[in-house]
Amino acid sequence: MTTDLRDPSASRDHGGRIDAAVARYGGERGDWIDLSTGINPVPYPIGDLPCSAWTDLPDQAANTALIDAARAFWPCPERAAVLAVPGLSLAISLIPRLTAAGRVSIATPTYNEHAAAFRAAGWDVTQSGAVDARVAVHPNNPDGRIWRAEETCAPLSVIDESFCDTAPEHSLIHLADRPGTLVLKSFGKFWGLAGLRLGFVIGDPDLVAMLAAMLGPWVVSGPALHIGAAALRDPDWANDTRARLAHDRDRLDNLLLGSGAILTGGTSLFRLYNHPHAQALHDHLAQHHIWTRLFPWSDTAIRFGLPGPNGWSRLQAALDSAP
């Protein structure tokens, strides 16, 4: 099968996949620095969990505590419903089935699972004309585009704020009580706990109730309920983390701009650059067991996440030795 490299939705490429990098470039998995994703490299400290978080079926009290914490952290409109889900990927795959298929607008390039999910549910994906649904990744992955409220209007409006917790002043959470609107929140990105598989769908109560019925009971694990509630009730950690991420974002820009890259967008969790030799730079860094993200729709785009505290010197050395 031939893939159109200029069509961002033609291939469901993703960051991560360190196992594939190891298979191609060698080393052990623990040797690698994964800069191909936009995950906070300094995760929220989990601390000790009560044994009951592992042994008991999640109860309503724990779920209510998590939802209350979510409502407090994100200023959710009172009329909006809040649903905790086991990672946003599952919710994204089900949302197109909440209403009859039609035409959905998804501006590209963006996170390609939205288009894949709508197509799988029988929708026509477009970027123009009258539509029955609209998806806005806000800020957008990979270029960091910020959407205006009026650009998100549709009978079904999905606003994916997976990366918005670095800049909450841009959040469109106030639209969550608008009929037909669903705002998505990721826990894995900003809090750096992608393996916990926790996310939130906030919005139209009827749509949220339908999604909850599809998912069934006990979908969020006991540890996720406990950790999520604690993290969402820790605004000091969130504020300190935003400051650190902004500092590290600028540090990364200084490194890459000095290597011939041109900044084209991003957030405080990932940066998108144009580089005249993006593939060669990607391969060079991979030889040093540093994994970055290329895209099938561009020969020059390359995306970097942030290194952890012990990764900066390795990245600097690898960039310094690039041809």
Task: Give Cα 212 to chain centroid, integer Å.
Answer: 21
Q: Which two tokens stand for residue 63?
A: 């779920």
Residues 212-230 have pLDDT tens digits of 999 999 999 999 999 999 9
The domain made up of 51-233 is a member of CATH 3.90.1150.10: no
In this structure, what DSSP letter does residue 246 have? H
Q: Which fold has domain 18-42+237-320?
A: Aspartate Aminotransferase, domain 1 (3.90.1150)
- The 10 Å CB-count burial string (b at 16+, else e) for 217-229 is eebbbbbbbbbbb
Residues of the chain with pLDDT under 70: 1-14
**Residues 319 and 309 sit within 8 Å (Cβ to Cβ):** no
Residues 18-49 have pLDDT tens digits of 999 999 999 999 999 999 999 999 999 999 99
Residues of the chain with CATH 3.90.1150.10: 18-42+237-320
Residues of the chain with CATH 3.40.640.10: 51-233
Q: Which two tokens stand for residue 185?
A: 């929140």
Distance in angstroms (rounded) separating the CA atoms of residues 286 and 303: 14
